[in-house]
Every structure is written in C-alpha cells, then in structure tokens.
C-alpha cells in the first residue's frame, strides 16, 4: 500500500493526516477553480471573462488609487501648451517660435493642420517655415480609415512625426501597408521593442504644468522640458476613461499623450503579472486557508455548525485581505496581481473537502477488498 494513503485507513470515513487532507483538498479546489474559470467561463466582478479580466482588475485598482485627487504626482519634465481654440496659424507659429526660444528638449505638435482648413497662404507659409526650421519639433499623425492623416507641412518635407492614436499598452509602432509608423512617445525618446499588452501606461493622478497661448512665462517654464502643444478646448479630442483621473472621467487627447510620454520618460509602467503568477498566489493562499480550516475542524471545542460559520467568515476575511495586498502592490510598485483566481478558489474549499472525504471513503473500500 502506498505510504501516501496509509493514514486514510485509520478512520472509517475521513483521512486523519492533516497534511494529506490539506494537499488533497487544495488540489481539488484548484482543479475546480480552473474548470469554472476556463471551461465554464463563469462571470464575476462585472462579468469578468478570461479575455478581459486583467483590464477589469486594472480598472478596479485605478478606481481606488485615483479616488484621492489631492494625492497627485507632479511631473516636471513635461509642459502642456494650450492653444485655447486658436485658429490663426500665424499666431500659432509665433507661439511655437516663443517656445523654441525657451530651448525645450522637444516640442510635440499634438494637432493636425489640414491643408484646406485656412485659405491664408501667408499664415500657412509662416507655420511651415517655423516647423521646418527646428529639428526638435515632432508633428502629429494618426491612422484613420486605414490611411495616415498628416499636416500639410509634413507632406514632402523632412519633418519628424509620431502617431497620436490612443494606446494604453506598450506599443511603440503601427504597421500600415508595410510602413512602420512610430507612436509619438516612442518617436521622441527613441524607445523601441515589440508590443507588450502586459505593460500599461501609468494613469496615476498626475499634474503637468499647463500654460495658455497668452501666458507670458513660457521662457522660464519650458526650458529643457518636453512641450506638448494642443487644444484642450477641442471637444472632438476628448476621450472617455474607464476610471476617474484627476477627478475627471473624460480626458483630453493632449493629456493622454502627456501620461504616455511621462510613463516612457520615467519608466513607470504598470505591469500585469502573468496568469501563472496569479495562480501561484491562489495556490499558496488556498493551501494555508485549507490547513487552517482543517485545524478548526479538529478543535474539539467547536461543533460542526459553528466551525462552518467561522470558515465562511474566514473566506471573506482572507479574500478582503488579499485584495488589500493586491492594491498595496499596485500602489507602491505598479504591479498588478489578478485576484480573481483566488476569489474562485476560496469558496470552493468547502465542496472540495466533501469531495476529498468521498474519495477517502472510496479508497478505503478499495483497499479492504
């Protein structure tokens, strides 16, 4: 007879060895959790499924992290220059020249100037001359309807550009008809690499210096900074966020770009741990929880009814503590552990115990024969 099951023959209905109990119940629990999550595709936490569970967990953690609008980090590497719905290309050109005189590291024009939006050829010429005179100016481009939209001065001129299409994960480039087009935040930093959906832009509440086109202090503020020039009053460039950021549920495109640039510059990515890491956490927590519940079951001062109540309360307490731990890791280190697997596993320990007892009884009958 195998040594593993010798202890099971000492009782009529249950295995007596606590470690065999703990290991067996834990194994059954994790198997049931895996079946429920991946095979039956049971939905919890706002209908979480294997496809979008990480996104939902990330949103949940952000909703906690960003609830305090007073806890805002200041990024002194980036300045947002608001055009305030200014339409005159001559005035915009003069503003860009003022910014350049402040000797910034880079100027990002987060606005696309179409060639037919203004008939004033002189203003167009002024803007084109300014943009093409400096090698640290990056102009916006975007992919729409499977085509690239560019400003009129970027066509046929040696102008640096970057895509401003929204992406919340590490995605340095897009490929369109065999052309590699780098996103703006990676074009200005030179960062390359393969797209990685486990690396996410950091949207912790953050403050950037924001100046109006009429501001007189651009010279002192923009020096050695990355200046993002955009129109914060453009209603067409507002994006719905799945969580609140700086007290707002809708955020301007230039602000989104600022968060992306800030994440790249500071290497402050939000990193999603692989699923196997979450399963390891689930296994460890389940094992120790099962061990504790087995100890409670053997405590002579507790009857079965009271013991079951205590175990039910402990399930809720352990999971709440684990959620708190996940949040602390997210807040302090920007790492995301998916707690859903643990959520599935803990309640299943109750039925797993009964299944394990049935297996022990069946095994004893087989051994006696």
HEC sequence for 140-200 = EEEEECCEEEECHHHCCCCCEEEECCCCCEECCEEEECCEEEEEHHHHCCCCCCCCEEEEE
- The pTM of this model reads 0.83
Q: pLDDT (tens digit, 9 = 90+) per residue, 240-249?
A: 888 888 888 9
Q: pLDDT (tens digit, 9 = 90+) per residue, 109-166?
A: 999 887 755 556 778 888 888 888 898 999 999 998 888 888 888 876 778 899 998 8
Angle at 276 between CA 284 and CA 36, to 5 degrees: 80
- Largest separation between any pair of C-alpha atoms in the chain: 101
Look up residue 181 and give its two tokens.
């087009």
Q: pLDDT (tens digit, 9 = 90+) per residue, 270-292?
A: 999 998 999 999 999 999 999 98
In DSSP terms, which residues pair with 144 in a beta bridge? 147
Domain positions in the chain are 3-62+273-368, 70-270
Closest Cα to residue 203, out of 273, 274, 268?
268
Radius of gyration of the chain (CA): 29
Indicate the Cα dihedral angle 20, 24, 25, 31, nearest 10°.
160
Look up residue 119 and give its two tokens.
């008939």
Q: Can you say whether the dihedral through the CA atoms of 133, 137, 138, 140 is positive or negative?
A: negative
Rounded Cα distance between 288 and 295, Å, is 11
Q: State whether residue 9 is helix, strand or coil.
A: helix
């Amino acid at each position: 007879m195998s040594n593993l099951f010798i202890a099971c023959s000492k009782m009529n209905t249950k295995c007596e060895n606590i470690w065999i109990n703990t290991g067996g119940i834990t194994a059954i629990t994790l198997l049931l959790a895996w079946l429920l999550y991946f095979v039956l595709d049971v939905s919890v936490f706002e209908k979480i499924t294997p496809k979008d569970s990480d996104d939902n967990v990330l949103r949940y953690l952000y909703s906690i992290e960003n609830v305090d609008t007073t806890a805002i980090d200041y990024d002194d590497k980036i300045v947002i220059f608001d055009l305030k719905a200014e339409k005159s290309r001559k005035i915009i050109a003069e503003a860009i020249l003022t910014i350049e005189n402040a000797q910034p590291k880079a100027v990002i024009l987060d606005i696309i100037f179409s060639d037919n939006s203004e008939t004033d050829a002189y203003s167009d010429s002024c803007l084109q001359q300014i943009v093409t005179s400096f090698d640290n100016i990056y102009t916006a481009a975007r992919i729409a309807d499977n085509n690239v939209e560019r400003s009129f001065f970027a066509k046929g001129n040696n102008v640096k550009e970057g895509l401003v299409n929204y992406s919340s994960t590490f995605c340095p480039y897009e490929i369109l008809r065999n052309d590699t087009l780098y996103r703006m935040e990676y074009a200005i930093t030179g960062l390359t690499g393969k797209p990685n959906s486990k690396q996410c832009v950091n949207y912790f509440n953050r403050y950037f210096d924001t100046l109006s086109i009429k501001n007189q202090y651009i010279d002192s503020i923009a020096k050695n900074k990355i200046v993002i020039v955009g129109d914060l009053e453009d209603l067409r460039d507002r994006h719905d966020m799945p969580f609140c950021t700086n007290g707002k549920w809708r955020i301007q495109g230039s602000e989104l770009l600022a968060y992306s640039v800030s994440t790249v510059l500071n290497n402050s990515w939000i990193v999603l741990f692989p699923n196997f890491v979450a399963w390891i956490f689930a296994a460890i927590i389940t094992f120790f929880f099962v061990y504790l519940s087995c100890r409670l079951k053997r405590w002579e001062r507790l009857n079965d009814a009271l013991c079951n109540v205590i175990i039910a309360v402990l399930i809720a307490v352990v999971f709440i503590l684990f959620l708190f731990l996940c949040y602390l890791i997210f807040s302090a280190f920007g790492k995301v552990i998916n707690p859903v697997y643990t959520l599935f596993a803990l309640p299943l320990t109750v039925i797993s115990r009964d299944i394990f007892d049935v297996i022990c009884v069946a095994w004893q009958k087989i051994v006696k024969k």
